[in-house]
Structure 1
Amino acid sequence: MNKALKYSVFSIGLCVALFLMAAVVFISVVDPNDYKDRISRIVLDETGRTLTFEGDLNLLVFPNLGIRMTDVSLSNTADFGPEPMIRVASASVSVRIAPLLMGKVKFGQLVLDELVLNMGRAADGTTNWEDLVGRQVPTESSDTEEPFSLEVAGLSVTNGSLVWDDRYTDTQFVVRGLDVSTGKIAQGAVFPVDVSLKFACSRPDAQGTVKISGKSSIDFVNREYGHLDMGVQLSAKGKALPGGTLDARAEFNFLALDFNRERAQVTGLKISAYGATVRVDGTFEGITQDMTAASGVVKVDPFDVKKTLAALGKKLFPIVDKIALTDVGGMVDFAFVPGRIDIKTLKATVDGTRIVGNARIERGAVWPTCFMRLDVGTLDLDKYMPVQDETKSATVDLSSSGHDAVMIRPALLRKLDVDIEAKVAKLKLAGVYFESVIAHLKGKDGVVRLSPASAQTYGGSITLDGTVSVVEKTPSAAVTVAVDSVDIGALSRDADEGSQLAGIADFNADLTWRGERVTDMRRTVNGTVGFFLKDGVFPGVNMVRMARETHDRKSQGGRVEAAATDSTRFGTIKGTGVLTNGVLVNEDLEVVAPGLRANGHGAVSLVTHEIDYIVKAKLVPQATGQGGKGSDDLFGVLVPIHVTGTVENPHYWVSVTEYVKALGGTVIGVVGSVLGGVTSAIKEVGSALDETCCEDESTSEKSPRRKKFLGIF
């Protein structure tokens, strides 16, 4: 046994000695520089490129067998200029001697110093390396052929550079100071990688540095490449960058690239830039061609939107709440295939507001179709409203041509294909609070419908059903609104802190209109409305005071006008209205209030906002003020109170002269002339009475019916 071991060691030593002697003889006899021309001719014949050796070729013997070359270059194609496509100041490659003795090739460290790559794409889209790739090399296959195995002691690139000149997109990219260092590269083994470089781009303008550090693995047989615990640091500046500067970091736990299956998988990807951090875990298919599928989870860590926009060089318009949008984050679980993306789960928080939901977007015939379901917690939209410019007028004349906005865009709505439902537990908008809000919007084939839309608010409820159709050339719309038992006093106080309006309101409307612009819609509004208010206060007019003051001043003439601080407390106010071509006509207003009964009729223009209305107020004994009797069943003198002006600024007034003429000029105690005179004083809907309106009224139209006078005045 000892003899066999001795003979084996002796044989190995003899082989090594013979190999070294042969190598020494080979180096002494063979000069690799003698073969430079032959190598250049072979390269020229095969590629059409010129391989130039400006420096010497030197053989390496120990510890590895290899070659070192200096100043080597490969020419570019004629269309890309005289600069070589590849140039290297110094390069060395070697094979390890011991594995070579056993018939295996294992490389030593590959060293490239001052490597220069000039890459480019012409205006027609061709690249300067297309003639070098895709060449078919005939090979003989063998069933016993061993799989390809590569082992390199390491790769070292120092002070390399890359120039990318893309004339197709008119961009230019330059990499300088490229340093690459790796550990031992072997089939399927993990090795460390460190890369650093500087880059500059003139079109667009950007320059900066990149540093990469981590671990990688290569499987050439299965075309699989893995990267572990990798970190990328990017620092850049330039006009092309948002905000002018960029400091970003990306890191991931694992990235696998499988080119046989056209698949990539990433785990623990984290990207931080501009004050925001995004995390991704996902799988992507079709990585070298068009994407065929993707799925994963994207998370956004809580961040300050305002600071991020500022870092991007953008500025958010001033909003009411200064701390709004300072805590925004969420996650999306998605799945993608060509023509469709599914948001399986959406979870977000915006300043403490919880938002969950799901969505689906598919490729449509014209536009994508969208399906979405959202569930929102407590949402205060007022916090995100723009700050009002106090220098501008608080009131806006919506009837002016300058504010004749386009509200419906037929071309857009005809493309729309959506099914969106949103639920909000608590909502604040324009100071008004809502609960249990539900809104369902569906749109397809030129018809968009909002149904249902409902909310609980101030002890009551609001429901709405609306449809917009752009099937025909002129858009049309229909809406039904129902308000049930809403405390409009509390609502109006929240909406307008100075409001004195109070009461419990019921309201219904069934309306239609046509047109794209605001004025067109107002001119074509048709439909019906109804309202009922109880136990409240109507601000802007005190009908009891105006009636008493009118009677007290009947000998003085002039007008009795409402004061801005006036109000009327009422038991009920009810009525209905008909809208025809933008004009609302009410014939049956009835007011029941303490010490007062009133009927009214008139018209309001939705186009001009003008009011032409008259209220026939009659005082009654205080004890019967809250009863249910109508004004026609009580005694008293009717006082015609006009309402003119606009909806924004109504004007309440009584003509004393008109009132006196309505009494017929007789003593107030004469009952017969009172009712007849008042009947004459109140004319048809839409005619505002003035001081001379009753002079031609025929006495034959006076009512002969006599009623007792209660002596209110």
Structure 2
Amino acid sequence: MKAFGKILGLFILGLLLIIVALGFALTHLFDPNDYKDEIRKLVRDRAHVELTLNGDIGWSLFPWLGLELHDASVATLTEPSKPFADLQMLGLSVRVLPLLRKEVQMSDVRVEGLNLMLTRDENGHGNWEDIGKVPAAAANPAQPPVAQTSPDTAPDAAAAKPDKAWQPLKLDIDSLTVNNARIDFNDVQKARQFTAESIQLSTGPVHNATDIPVKLTAFLSTNQPVIRTKTELTGKLRFDRALKRYQFDDMRFSGEAAGDPLQGKTLTFSAQGQLLADLSANVAEWTNLKFSANQLRALGELHVRDLDKAPQLSGGISIAQFNLREFLDSVGQTAPTLGDNSLTRLEMVSRIAATQNSVSLDDLTLRLDDSTFTGRVAVDDFAKQSLRLKLKADTFDADRYRPPQSEQAKAAGAARKTEVQGNEAEAMAASGTSPLPNQPTQVAWSDTKLLPLERMRKLDVDADLNFGKLTVEKLAIQNAALKTSALDGIITVDSLRGDLYNGNFEVKGNLDVRPEVPLASVQTHIAKVPVERFIQSQGTTPPLRGLLNLNSDVTAKGNSEKALVESLNGTASFALNDGVLVNANLEQQLCRGISVLNRKTLSGDPRGKDTPFQQLNGNLTFRNGVASNPDLKVRTPGLTVNGDGDIDLRVLGMNYRVGVIIEGDKSDMPDPACEVNPRFVGIEWPILCRGPLELGAKACRLDNEGLGKVAAKLATDRIGDKIDEKLGDKVSPELKDAIKGLFKR
């Protein structure tokens, strides 16, 4: 037995020596470079690509099947002279015996200088689409087509063989290294180019269901727009081909970008997390997501399902507080032309859901500057830009986000202010002895375009907004609510309501932006709102105070303040309760007129600088920016005022004729010179008001011409009284009337 074992051992040793000798002979006596033409023909016939081998082929046989290719290129048979890929060197080696068990065991795989050139021509055809295809011109018409065997015509023997389940190859690679690779994509049709260059890829051992360290770096660039990006990707890749499960743990993708859109600035970005794709379950996810871009920092997680159908994304995202204005500047973008103190603080937390056609932010909490919004924002259809908003805010100052006033508007405002100040200096409202101020001529409104009509015509919006406190035009609105919609060029305000300084208001209307000149229709209801707040919001001193009640229905057209005011038409009714004319003592001016009639001098100073009134009401008719008010009614203690005039909203000017009916001096100690004679009761004393609306009662004067008529009437009445006194019942009433008529003018 010992001798047999020794002989068997010597036999095996001899066999191994023979195998090694054969391998040495094949690798040293057989040179594959002598068969380049045969290799090219084999590749052309089987793989249907054109292989060019300009360098040497190195190889080994056993125990590693090794191969090295140098200076090789591959082209399609359609364009064999235009390679779509070339490389400087490809080196790999595979163990021979594991191949028999469908196992691929490789040593280090190295790729040097790979260039991949992809082109889409002017017809939209890509050169990669011809890979593996035989050109029609290359087909041999004399050769009959190869008959295709279908399952129905297959031989019985073949049909009897049972199908074997597909078994994936088992990969076992010590490492993979790619150095200095480059990918070029050129779209001739769209004149776009994309380049990935200086690609460096290195991995650890590549095994199924094990962690594989990966590092990839590259420089990316595009020409539309011109952007160049330095990138690095690291992590641990794990795959299970049988389960179709792929993971990328501890992933970090980072880099820097520069180019035309960044206007000379640099964007530094980073994305981290754990990636998973389970193709058997058709799901994918990105957990422990961390993202940064300059000052911007975000956390979250994303999940995708139905990868094989219509993918649906869900997850959550949290953006830490950052200065949006500074961030935009850091990436070369100009912040919107809003107030200087806006967009300085922004942070957000939300759930996110998306499909190929929609996206929504649910359970949203958005903090913008000093405001906090909660609710939902969604785009239901990207193609139609269907925006849906349901938000609630604690406080929001809309004035903070208004664009600065244009230079033209500033110039117009300055000119008008100068005009008003000049009139006010001449008014001397307290004494009332100066002439009436001139009617203003400067336009009070800007002709700057207000609305982006083209964008608004495409709007599809449904919004429901609520504010604890909303500031608009310096008006602090409590419990404000807005419900509005926009579709097919028509913007509808279903309701805009709120509480305003212990009063309330509601506005409804619509805006039709389909025509070149947009059309607006507005209905307004205001109840018990302090009117001085409206006037203060325009930056002027209120000439009166009181609680305003207003109902209006107006229309206008245009795309600027000036055009809208000049085309204003409609009706309104108003009432002002518990009002006060500020810095204007109308009673004192009337006393001066009465003292003239009494031929006495006022003995005391005015008792107050304001004129209170218990009610002010009337109706307005708007015609092309001019409001006609034929029935102004004002009631103050002891006085009733009737007014008839116009307010020219185009220049914020007024022109009124006011009649004051004296009901009697109600004070405890009346001025003797102003003591009302019983014959003055019921007389309508005339007053004219003309000038800038801001002056209020300062622009009012006693109507001397009308006062003369009043004096004549009083004289006539006094003569009539004397006639009655003298004649008594001595003559008939007809004769007394005839005698009185002789004294009437």
Give TM class, smaller chain: 0.7 to 0.9
Please state how far the C-alpha of 1:61 moved relative to its aligned partner: 6.1
Please state how far the C-alpha of 1:155 moved relative to its aligned partner: 0.7
Does residue 658 of structure 1 match 2:706? yes
Question: Contact 1:547/1:618 (CA < 8 Å) preserved in 2?
Answer: no
Question: Contact 2:265/2:332 (CA < 8 Å) preserved in 1?
Answer: no
Residues of 2 paired with 1:227 and 1:702: CA distance? 112
**CA deviation map 1:62-110 (0-9, x unaligned):** 874412232222246776x956322222221111367458674312221
Call closer, same or farther: CA 1:549–1:61 in 2, change over 3 Å. farther
Please state how far the C-alpha of 1:304 moved relative to its aligned partner: 0.8
1:662-681 equivalent positions in 2, closer than 5 A: 662-664=710-712, 670=718
Please state how far the C-alpha of 1:330 moved relative to its aligned partner: 0.9
Larger relative helix fraction: 2
Correspondence for 1:179 among 195, 200, 209: 200
Contiguous gaps of at least 5 residues in structure 2: 135-145, 151-157, 417-440, 600-607, 670-677, 722-739
Correspondence for 1:511 among 543, 548, 553: 553
- Aligned residue in 2 for 1:155: 176
Residues of 2 paired with 1:702 and 1:447: CA distance? 67
What is the TM-score with the length of structure 1 in the denominator?
0.78
SS at match of 1:394: helix
- Aligned residue in 2 for 1:573: 615
Larger mean Cα displacement after TM superposition, 163-172 or 464-473: 464-473
Question: Contact 1:513/1:521 (CA < 8 Å) preserved in 2?
Answer: no
Correspondence for 2:236 among 209, 215, 227: 215
Does residue 431 of structure 1 match 2:451? no
- Aligned residue in 2 for 1:69: 69
**CA deviation map 1:479-533 (0-9, x unaligned):** 4333223334466557647445333x13121314364566577556222312122
Does residue 642 of structure 1 match 2:642? no
Call closer, same or farther: CA 1:665–1:497 in 2, change over 3 Å. closer
SS at match of 1:36: helix
Please state how far the C-alpha of 1:179 moved relative to its aligned partner: 1.2
- Aligned residue in 1 for 2:392: 375
Residues of 1 paired with 2:246 and 2:149: CA distance? 27
Residues of 2 paired with 1:207 and 1:541: CA distance? 71
Please state how far the C-alpha of 1:436 moved relative to its aligned partner: 0.8
The residue type paired with residue 24 of structure 1 is F
1:348-387 equivalent positions in 2, closer than 5 A: 348-363=366-381, 367-387=384-404
- Aligned residue in 2 for 1:685: none
Question: Contact 2:445/2:650 (CA < 8 Å) preserved in 1?
Answer: no
The residue type paired with residue 56 of structure 2 is D
- Aligned residue in 2 for 1:169: 190
Does residue 122 of structure 1 match 2:121? yes
Q: Percent identity?
A: 21
- Aligned residue in 2 for 1:86: 85
Residues of 2 paired with 1:593 and 1:150: CA distance? 100
Please state how far the C-alpha of 1:703 moved relative to its aligned partner: 10
Question: Contact 2:379/2:387 (CA < 8 Å) preserved in 1?
Answer: yes
1:130-145 equivalent positions in 2, closer than 5 A: 130-133=129-132, 142-143=163-164, 145=166
Residues of 1 paired with 2:544 and 2:517: CA distance? 39
Residues of 2 paired with 1:702 and 1:482: CA distance? 53
Contiguous gaps of at least 5 residues in structure 1: 557-565, 626-631, 674-698, 705-713
1:230-309 equivalent positions in 2, closer than 5 A: 230-239=251-260, 241-258=261-278, 263-284=283-304, 292-309=311-328
SS at match of 1:23: helix
Question: Contact 1:178/1:195 (CA < 8 Å) preserved in 2?
Answer: yes
Call closer, same or farther: CA 1:574–1:164 in 2, change over 3 Å. same
Question: Contact 1:332/1:345 (CA < 8 Å) preserved in 2?
Answer: yes
**CA deviation map 1:92-132 (0-9, x unaligned):** 11113674586743122211122222222212122222222
1:673-692 equivalent positions in 2, closer than 5 A: none
Correspondence for 1:315 among 334, 338, 347: 334
The residue type paired with residue 573 of structure 1 is Q
**CA deviation map 1:226-275 (0-9, x unaligned):** 32211122223222x32334333232322234556765422233332243
Call closer, same or farther: CA 1:470–1:282 in 2, change over 3 Å. same
- Aligned residue in 2 for 1:628: none
Question: Contact 1:492/1:501 (CA < 8 Å) preserved in 2?
Answer: no
Does residue 526 of structure 1 match 2:570? yes
- Aligned residue in 2 for 1:586: 629
Residues of 1 paired with 2:388 and 2:318: CA distance? 22
SS at match of 1:213: strand
SS at match of 2:170: coil
SS at match of 2:467: strand
1:616-635 equivalent positions in 2, closer than 5 A: 616-618=659-661, 620-623=664-667, 635=681
Residues of 2 paired with 1:56 and 1:321: CA distance? 69
**CA deviation map 1:26-50 (0-9, x unaligned):** 3244322233221111123345543
Call closer, same or farther: CA 1:319–1:440 in 2, change over 3 Å. closer
Larger mean Cα displacement after TM superposition, 35-44 or 258-267: 258-267
Residues of 1 paired with 2:89 and 2:367: CA distance? 57
Does residue 190 of structure 1 match 2:228? no
- Aligned residue in 2 for 1:676: none
- Aligned residue in 1 for 2:52: 52
Please state how far the C-alpha of 1:133 moved relative to its aligned partner: 5.0
Question: Contact 2:716/2:744 (CA < 8 Å) preserved in 1?
Answer: no
- Aligned residue in 2 for 1:709: none
Residues of 2 paired with 1:272 and 1:128: CA distance? 37
**CA deviation map 1:156-185 (0-9, x unaligned):** 111222222221321223333221101122
Residues of 1 paired with 2:13 and 2:683: CA distance? 137
SS at match of 2:413: coil
- Bigger radius of gyration among the two: 2
